[in-house]
Structures are given as structure tokens and as C-alpha cells.
Amino acid sequence: MTTATTTPVTSLCTHTLTSLHYRNANLVEDLLGKKTFTEVMLMQILNRTPRGVDLRITDAVLIVLMEHGLTPSAIATRLIYMSAPENLQGAVAAGLLAVGSSFVGTMENCSHLLDRIAAAADPRAEALEIARHHKGLKSPVPGFGHHLHKPVDPRAYKLLDLARAEPELAGDKIRALEQLSAAVDAAAGRPITINATGAVAALLGEIGVATSVMRGFAVISRAAGLVAHIVEEQQSPSGRFIWDTIEHAIPFVGAANQADGA
């Protein structure tokens, strides 16, 4: 028995001997010198011409996600670059592997919750159910809390202020985040900050980015930050210091270290 298959197609890019097109735009005639990277990126990802509000929101999100110091992604990049300085792209790739459900990429986790709240018949009740569920698990609600920024994460509230000033945005995902924030505070019995990735989830949702794609924006942004870490590593190496610090800070507890003292 044979199974009919559909031939795969692409609408992202094509070329001839004399031209190259991104979707239906001629790269040389329509894009180069006329469009910004952010415009072309959104055109490719969203398959539509981005509005001014899309560009403003995306630029703000990309700037916020680009850097947060010596976090796991930056440390991984610096250590891999120390080990293989001929392979810059490998070092960046190592750092990008840390963009996930615990660090940097948590906007996807939060966006799933915002989608639930926005689609619910009773959004406030849905938000409270989510908050109580996570409290029962003794697990933080994605998009809330921060171990460094207290009592609030200033990045999140600046992003939300920027979005509220945009009349073209429907506001559904921002309202869902506000409802979830109120529920999280009620369940905890104290204020819990919305963090940067929580705000990013709402903002990307407002401009039509699908939840399943949001973590890609973190990858795009953090890649630029990791290249900057490599530049600094070239000028002021820290990889060996990080390695030595960890080696001395974490003691070996097996029997082998007792033999020398016998």
C-alpha cells in the first residue's frame, strides 16, 4: 500500500541567476538600504508587513532580552570560547542552549497561561485557579518573581508602560497579565513582581507573535548579547577565573582526599 505525500514547499526565499527574493520582496531592490533588520525579520516570521507599533514593541523586547550579566548562558559561552577560541559560533550556540523554561525563554511558559486566561469565560477565575495551582505545587508562576530585582522588576513595568501607550494594541494579553498578577498576589498574600519575561509574553502576544515562536525572539536577542560577551572575553578573559573559582568553591567529598592526610 502506498501513501500519498505532499511535496514540501517554501515561501521564505527564492533566487534566480540575477536576483534573490525574501518572500515577495527583491532583496537588492526592495530591502537593502530601505528596510531595517527588525522590519525584515518580522516580515519573514509573521508573513506580513510590520506596522510601526510592531517595530517599536519588538525593538524594546529585543533590547530587554539581550543582556543580564554573567548568567548561565553567558558563562557557558565564555567557557566554551575559552576551550575553543577558533569556534566563536560554537560558543554562542552553547550559550543559546540555556534559553529555556528556567532562564530567558520563560515568556513561552507565561504566554501559555495568558492564552488560557484570555480565552476563558471567566478570566479572573481562570487566573486565580492558575495562581492557586502553582502555590499548591510550591512553584513560581512563569513570568512572576525575580531573585535579583525586588520589590519590582523595573524592566517589566517599563515594557508595559510602553505597550499601554500604543493605541493600536488590543490590550487583551496585557489585561490577562494584569489579571494573573492580581491572582498571584492574592494567592501569595503579598505583592509578587511581574518579571521581564512575563511582560515580554504579553507584548509579543499583543503584536500577534504565536506562543510557540516567542522563545525564538529570546534566541535572536541573546545571540547579540553573547557575541558581546565573547568580545569582552577576548579583551579581558574570565573563563579560566570562572573555572578556578568553581573548582575551589565545590569541594570533593570522596575517600580519595583522605589518603594524602593519612
pTM of the predicted model over 0.85: yes
Which phi-psi region, left, alpha or beta, contains residue 208 (left: φ > 0; alpha: ψ -120 to 50)?
left
HEC profile for the chain?
A: CCCCCCCCCCCCEEECCCCEEECCEEHHHHHCCCCCHHHHHHHHHHCCCCCHHHHHHHHHHHHHHCCCCCCHHHHHHHHHHHHCCCCHHHHHHHHHCCCECCCECCHHHHHHHHHHHHHCCCHHHHHHHHHHHHHHHCCCCCCECCCCCCCCCHHHHHHHHHHHCCCCCCCHHHHHHHHHHHHHHHHHCCCCCECHHHHHHHHHHHCCCCHHHHHHHHHHHHHHHHHHHHHHHHHCCCHHHHHHHHHHHCCCCCCHHHHCCC
Q: How far apart are CA 199 and CA 176, in angstroms?
A: 11
| Residue pLDDT, tens place only, 16-62 | 999 999 999 999 999 999 999 999 999 999 999 999 999 999 999 99
Tens digit of pLDDT at every position of the chain (262 positions): 556 689 999 999 999 999 999 999 999 999 999 999 999 999 999 999 999 999 999 999 999 999 989 999 999 999 999 999 999 999 999 999 998 877 776 899 999 999 999 999 999 999 999 999 999 999 999 999 866 667 889 999 999 999 999 999 999 999 999 999 999 999 999 999 999 999 999 999 999 999 999 999 999 999 999 999 999 999 999 999 999 999 999 999 888 766 565 4
What is the reported pLDDT for 220? 96
In angstroms, the Cα distances linking 193 to 147, 157, 162, 182 are: 10, 9, 17, 10
Beta bridge partners, 15, equal 20
Give span(s): CATH 1.10.230.10, the chain: 51-244
**Domain 51-244 CATH class label:** mainly alpha
d(CA 224, CA 80): 16
